[in-house]
Amino acid sequence: MREAHPRERTVGIQWYVSDADGVGGRLRERPDAFRVRELEAFDTEPVESGAGDYPYLVLRATLTGWDTNDFASRLSDAMGISRERVDWAGTKDKHAVTTQLFSVYDADPGDLPEIRDVEIEVVGRAGRHLSYGDLAGNAFEIVVREPENPENADEITGQLRAFAGDAEGDRIGVPNVFGHQRFGSRRPVTHQVGLAIVRREWRDAVLAYVGNAFETEPDDTRDARQFVDEQAASDDPDWGACLDRMPRKLGYERSMLHRLQERGAGDADGEPENWRHALEAVPSNLQRLFVNAAQSYAFNRILSERLGRELPFHEPVAGDVCCFTDNDVDAVRKPDTDRLQRATAERVDVLTRHCERGRAFVTAPLIGTETEFAEGEPGEIEREVFDDLGLEPGMFDLPGNFESTGTRRAILVDTAMTVEHDPLTFTFALPSGSYATAVLREYLKSDPMEL
């Protein structure tokens, strides 16, 4: 195996599966070179249906250069409604052309605004809002610009087919890691915030997000965060001065600072509830994302350790917990983590055959209050990682939006891959929750900030 890029190691990713040199090149130089289209799994009624029974207006928006959260905020502002009335099934990156569904509570087609670089199509109405489970997956068409060694793509594809246990087929496989953007592409801190939340270190959580400057940030942002750290270390922090220095583009940081100023949160001996109140200034989905990022970091660590021990990903070993495949989705093999079975010594051969036939996946935990560990060597890996991070399932019994029951997640993501060489273009589909960068990192082997 090949050691991962240093930036990836900061988010728990230690290895590449493929040993071949990368193709190099750059992604996202233009949004239209990175296209993402949702594979929809949400039923709607005609738009003429009564708003009483179907109060949610469902939209299909094609966004060019828009982050999903930013678009939702812009849409709600333009409509003069609360941001909490806008929901979606999957968050997308801004450096792309993305097509995805949104639901808006108590809205009519005539209420929709025109927004720059956005095309909106009214799909219909629904009796409930969109949520994460309503997304089957995503289809990608990604162009690599100016690759140094495009000929390496075929060798990498062969190695990834072997990793998937499909050396003679057309499917590749990679570890189902959470990509760098899960933690913040330019400034990977969301898992640090989340780990502090789980430990109920509310002050540390706020300062990890508002302070904690990174060299990769613009000068004005870095200077403002450094000033926050200086004030936090003083006996009488001036949060108003911090707010004045924080660039207006950093709206969430400013919201937290505003609450600190209102409550008069002081030094490390101040009331924990004041710090938690500041943290809750951000939208509910971002509050959940902080804890999710902590879970994701631990998950990446588990996968890295499994790779380091050279345990297989495409089939179980004794002690693993497997899930079955959701057969209702045609375009992707979507794991159904509500259907779990342990690979006991008596069942491991049967579950291996299910995995070989595309009917099951090996899983690892996204730790939460209901987490049950695997047995054998997989369980040993899980416990070692969580012990190292000081995490236990009961710690996720948290207030408000921070609570998480946890789940399990497939450790392998596989897909039919098409590679065109002129220009170098990758076409594939992934189930919801899996990252295109988990695939592309194996091909480019570059700084994750370039993915």
Tokens (6 digits) for 283: 């939208």
Spatial CA neighbour of 47 closest among 38, 39, 55:
55
- Burial of 374: CB neighbours in 10 Å, binned 0-12, 13-18, 19+: buried
- Burial of 198: CB neighbours in 10 Å, binned 0-12, 13-18, 19+: buried
Instruction: State how far the Cα of 14 lies from the Cα of 339, in Å rounded to an integer.
Output: 29
- Total residue length of the chain: 451
Spatial CA neighbour of 411 closest among 327, 321, 279:
321
Spatial CA neighbour of 373 closest among 329, 423, 319, 424:
319
Instruction: State how far the Cα of 118 lies from the Cα of 98, in Å rounded to an integer.
Output: 10
Report the amino acid identity of residue 322: C
Instruction: State how far the Cα of 241 lies from the Cα of 218, in Å rounded to an integer.
Output: 20
Q: What is the helix, strand, coil percentage profile of the chain, to 5?
A: 40, 20, 40
Catalytic residue chosen out of the listed positions 21, 70, 87, 93: 93
Tally DSSP H helices, then E strands, for the chain: 13, 16
Helices (H), 39-146: 68-79
Q: Which residues contact 387 (CB under 8 A, 6 or more apart)?
A: none
Helices (H), 24-93: 68-79
Q: Please indicate whether residue 93 is annotated as part of the active site.
A: yes
Spatial CA neighbour of 172 closest among 433, 420, 430, 361:
430
Active site residues: 93
